[in-house]
Structure 1
Amino acid sequence: DQLTKKIGDEILYNLTRINAELHNSQICVIGISNSLIFSENLDPRVKSSLSEEELIFPPYNALQIQDILRKRASEAFKPESVGVGVIEKCSAYAAREHGDVRRAIDLLRVAGELAERSGSHIVEIAHLDGAESKVESDRIISAAMGQPKQFQAVLYAILFVGNQKKNMFTGEIYEVYQKLCKRTKFNVLTQRRISDILAELDMLGIITAKIISKGRYGRTREISVSLEESIIIKLREMLEKSLHLT
């Protein structure tokens, strides 16, 4: 799907027709996509020529992830250095996240690092729990810090207001955001655009936003921060550096 986005689906048509010109060999096309409706967006002429056969690979379940982790653990850790139940719980974490084996391997790696730092010779459940919190924290912070400066400014305004009250409204955030723009010399975006950014933050799981009615005063979003205090503190510090507020 990335290939066709860049140069169009004509290349698929050309590849499927090239066999008519080959005499000593034949080619076949194997495509991998995360989109289940990829073929539906192809030109009818291309789709007809492709005559594809679809193979859908379901997510790994917890038992399959356990098998993969045990093989990796046998190569990465010394014998009997992974505690009872660690592999099973790590697999359950990953299975909960749509069968993402990379996440399971990452969790086990971080758990091993935490065990090593604490001076433990065995990776315990407590290390895995700590790893889960750390990986989640890193994911959120990475997602936030990879956004444009205006996005970061809105997020900082939310954290600023959220430090004073649990639930806040769009107008309160916008007021702080405007002051922040004057301080950082950013152009002030419209309140409609700020509402779009709030919706994106909600999708990322950083905030929880629900639309409530205020009667004749219209509707607004009631917003609360969905992060642990330790993540909020770290994120606020990084935003202050990124926005040159310190």
Structure 2
Amino acid sequence: DLKFTEFLDPRVKSSLGEENMIFYPYDARQLQDILEHRAKKAFRPGALSPSVIPLCAALAAQEHGDARRALDLLRVSAELAERENATRVTERHVRKALHKIELDHVAEVIKSLPLQSKILLLAMIKEEREKKRQGLKPSMTTGEVYERYRQLSKRLGVESLTQRRIADLISELDMLGIITARVISKGRYGRTREIEISTSSREIIKILQNDDTVNPLIIYGGKGQMRLI
């Protein structure tokens, strides 16, 4: 935080003798150098397709320029290739690794959500699926989501929050990247939020299926199919 010292007591600042240092993110070339250095120690010659390291470096540079991210991407790519008994790591493994890392991150975020947010998320999935079943656009309003949320809360025997509080939780899920919620104009009817789920609803249900707090809302069908009550 570059403004950290602005909040310090003047006496603390005077004795601190601070010096600002800015650590810039790595670019793709620097990340590639780091990966090549590590790869020489970790992999036998020919184990990586020529495009693997440049791709890992480019993908990591596009995000935060984080060396750990680039190394994780290379590591998971190699693990996936090993599971397939592949003779070498390819771009396909890198793409799959990127998806897995992102999904694992989303899973950790969803698992850590409070109960009310989990119920709310399942309410959104139920509303989305109902709209798709009717051939409608899957986006939904705060009011529609709130009604679904109240239904699921009642089934769980959990006291419902107010619509204002649910609106706050929707904003939090939006900030986490699990959903997108944008304000749209309804003309003379005012403004509302249009909500869409950013993460695969199927994956969200799979993540929550072992959560005892919301598990009663999930029904298991044949062939591993899962749906909501």
Give the TM bin, normalised by the shorter chain: 0.7 to 0.9
**8 Å CA contact retained: 2:110, 2:207:** no
1:214 equivalent in alignment to 2:183? no
Counterpart position of 2:7: 41
Query: 1:45 Cα deviation (Å)?
Result: 1.4
- Measured in 2, the distance between the counterparts of 1:184 and 1:100 equals 42
Query: Structure 2 length normalisation: TM-score?
Result: 0.86
1:233 aligns with one of 193, 198, 202: 202
Counterpart position of 1:123: 89
Counterpart position of 1:167: 139
Letter in 2 for 1:234: E
Q: CA RMSD in A?
A: 1.4
1:95 equivalent in alignment to 2:61? yes
Query: 1:145 Cα deviation (Å)?
Result: 1.3
- Measured in 1, the distance between the counterparts of 2:167 and 2:150 equals 14
Query: 1:217 Cα deviation (Å)?
Result: 3.3
- Measured in 1, the distance between the counterparts of 2:166 and 2:112 equals 18
1:81 aligns with one of 34, 47, 58: 47
Letter in 1 for 2:4: F
Alignment of 1:126-205 (within 5 A): 126-165=92-131, 166-205=138-177
Query: 1:160 Cα deviation (Å)?
Result: 1.4
Query: 1:216 Cα deviation (Å)?
Result: 4.0
Query: Structure 1 length normalisation: TM-score?
Result: 0.81
Gaps of 5+ in 1: 1-34
Query: 1:232 Cα deviation (Å)?
Result: 2.5
- SS of residue paired to 1:221: strand
- Measured in 2, the distance between the counterparts of 1:151 and 1:120 equals 41
What percent identity do the matched residue pairs reach?
Answer: 50
Counterpart position of 2:225: none
Gaps of 5+ in 2: 132-137, 219-229
How many residue pairs align between the two structures? 209
**8 Å CA contact retained: 1:90, 1:104:** yes
2:34 aligns with one of 50, 62, 68: 68
Counterpart position of 2:25: 59
1:244 aligns with one of 194, 215, 225: 215
- Measured in 2, the distance between the counterparts of 1:163 and 1:203 equals 23
- Measured in 2, the distance between the counterparts of 1:122 and 1:181 equals 50
**8 Å CA contact retained: 1:156, 1:239:** no
- Measured in 2, the distance between the counterparts of 1:81 and 1:240 equals 38
Query: 1:75 Cα deviation (Å)?
Result: 2.1
- Measured in 1, the distance between the counterparts of 2:188 and 2:104 equals 42
> What whole-Å deviation, never above 9, does each CA across 1:106-156 have from its counterpart, x for those lacking one?
111111111111121100001001111111111112111111111111111
